[in-house]
Amino acid sequence: MAEAETGEARAAEAGRGATEAAAAEATGKQKGTEEAAGRPLVFLDFDGVICDSLPECYAVSRAAYYGLYLGLPQPEEAQGDEALFRRLRPYIRRGGDYMFIQLALREGIEPGSQADFDALIAERRELDDHFHGLFYQARHELLSDEPERWYALNPLYPGMAALLSLYGRNDAFLILSTKEAAFIEKILAFNGIAWDAARVYCSGKEEKRAFIDRVMDERKAVHAIFIDDQIDHFKGSSRHELRCLLADWGYVRADWLKDRSVERVSLGQLDTLFSHSL
């Protein structure tokens, strides 16, 4: 009888131990979730923040506009064409927009503001998606036919490879771009950067703030940092606490840098910003 009682006591004790262990595990998971939710997500734009893709976008859009759209050989570059392309680059929101810059160069149009550039696109709205498709067709062709040239036209900004290698394994760091994710992944891999493809997002035509809201909902995040070089992506409202930072090394206009309502960040400040976010 005593042995039976002892066995029952041991079983009860074992049951209590298992219950306590399960409770501790659940508490640990909850604590980990709360800690993860307490850390900000960091959303990084790609072109103009991580990668200086302007040389590639100039070459690709030129090939697409003349070769695929007009069916003509590319003419010799007029003096100042690439400089004007660079001046108009801040107005770009997605790939097809580069084609409208080539159209503007050919027709002698020089938009003086974002509104002017948007009006240029609106007047030719039927070309918008068509241009986008041709731009990506030309990009695929360049990558396929001349991969070494394509990668050379997409250099990372100074020090960026080291930063991404340092923080790239942290799942709080995400890339959000209008560029198709596959191209981003290729450039990162070429530069030896390990980055989970699940953390590379293409927003397409969706507003980036709305896209960020969805990701934050999915990850149960409370607040986030968003670094971009196009201030239009900062406009609108968010359901979450979102700190927007203008990348002052990217494709930005001088008047954006003078706008005191826009918080900016410099390339040299990123390491400190990232380390404080962990």
In this structure, the chain runs to a length of: 278
* Alpha-carbon gap, residue 239 to 216, rounded angstroms: 9
| pLDDT score, position 278 | 77
Which pLDDT band, with edges at 50, 70 and 90, does 8 fall under?
low
| Cβ–Cβ < 8 Å for 165, 173 | no
pLDDT value at 99 more than 90:
yes
Beta strands in the chain (DSSP E): 41-44, 173-177, 200-202, 223-228, 241-247, 264-265
* Alpha-carbon gap, residue 221 to 13, rounded angstroms: 39
> To which residue do tokens 């069916």 refer?
71
The answer, as to whether pTM is greater than 0.85, is no
pLDDT value at 6 more than 60:
no
Q: For residue 35, what is the DSSP state?
A: H
**What is the identity of the amino acid at 72?**
L
Question: What integer best gives the mean pLDDT of the chain?
Answer: 89
111-167 pLDDT, tens digit each: 999 999 999 999 999 999 999 999 999 999 999 999 999 999 999 999 999 999 999
39-52+155-277 domain in CATH 3.90.1170.50?
Answer: no
30 or 163: whose pLDDT is higher? 163
12 or 90: whose pLDDT is higher? 90
| pLDDT score, position 78 | 87
Mean pLDDT of 170-181: 97
218-247 pLDDT, tens digit each: 999 999 999 999 999 999 889 999 999 999
Domain ranges of the chain: 39-52+155-277, 54-152
| Cα Rg of the chain (Å, integer) | 25
